Amino acid sequence: MSKGLSFNGKHTREMDILVTDLKMPLVSNMRDTYESVPGRDGNILFPGWLEDKRIECTFGVRCTRSERIAKLREVAQWLYTRERKQLIFDTSPDVYYMAKVSGQVDVEHLQGISLVKVAFQAEPFAYSVNKTSVSKQITSSDKQITLANNGTYDVFPIIKISNANTNSLSLTLGGDKLTISNAIQTSDVLTIDCDEMTVLLNDTNVLDKTTGTFLSLQPGTNVMTVEAQNTLNVSVEWRERFL
């Protein structure tokens, strides 16, 4: 018997529900394409993307015959959502999935218990419950900041620049470089959201002054170099994700 889980802001123990069975793939299906070429041995691989993860659960809903209808209505209300919600398993409380019930929910009635079979369609990654944040003052003699991504997949951070006095700014990580050709004053806060691909100087969109590639943190140690004309403060925040 599995431990419980939390979905849509409510834990199974609050509803007197048992998780009697759980099936989850280790890695989501990979949508790769293989093409054959006449006269060539083997196929050519075109790497694709990860599909959603299908998580199957069986819930044991304990209730008497007279309580059954009301109890199952409560379960149905809990499971029904129009959007994906956080799904957290007791066996891995440090991560969550973004999931939604998929397909029909079937029920089998036994003596004193009803078995509710549910399939969740989740994003292919588990996300860390807690965000990671690293801050540092960048100077002319120390322009690098080390960022450790302890997840198993790349992530797109939010980068904030403050207390700067420079006419331009460049960030380099791995083979990618992002340049903002706009003056930044000491009272300004520059926010670069590499996931949403937005660049805000305070509340002003300066994407038109931005060139290059938005940065990503690969699993392991990453070193970002900051090029500016004067000392500044940089903070980098991200949420690790796992296959």
Please tell me the number of Cα atoms within 13 Å of 35 on its side-chain side.
5
Structure-token match 């834990």, residue found: 11
Helical ranges in the chain per DSSP H: 68-79
Q: Are strands 220-227 and 169-173 parallel, antiparallel or unpaired?
A: antiparallel
- The CA-based angle 118-122-125, given to 5 degrees, is 140
CB 20 within 8 A of CB 49: no
The CB-side HSE value for 195 (13 A sphere, CA atoms) comes to: 11
Find out whether 224 and 172 touch, Cβ atoms under 8 Å.
yes
Whether the Cβ atoms of residue 61 and residue 71 lie closer than 8 Å to each other: yes
- Report CA-CA distances (Å) from 85 to 74, 90, 121: 17, 16, 11
What's residue 1's pLDDT? Answer: 46
Measuring CA to CA, how many Å separate 185 from each of 71, 170, 215, 228, 238? Answer: 60, 15, 23, 12, 25
Q: Which of 133, 49, 120, 51 is nearest to 79 (CA)?
A: 120
Q: What would the 3-class secondary structure string for 131-193 be?
A: CEEEEEEEECCECEEEEEECCCCCECCEEEEECCCECCEEEEECCEEEEECCCECCCCEEEEE
Amino acid at 157: P
- pLDDT on residue 112: 83
Q: Print pLDDT tens along the chain (243 aa).
A: 458 999 999 999 998 899 999 999 999 988 888 899 898 888 998 888 899 999 999 999 988 888 899 999 999 999 999 999 999 999 999 999 999 999 999 999 988 899 999 999 999 999 999 999 999 999 989 999 999 999 999 999 999 999 999 999 999 999 999 999 999 999 999 999 999 999 999 999 999 999 999 999 999 999 999 999 999 999 999 999 999
pLDDT at 65: 84
For the chain, how long is the longest CA-to-CA vector?
A: 75
- pTM of the entire predicted model: 0.88
Q: Is the dihedral of CA 213, 215, 220, 225 positive or negative?
A: positive
Contact of 173 with 154, CB cutoff 8 Å: no
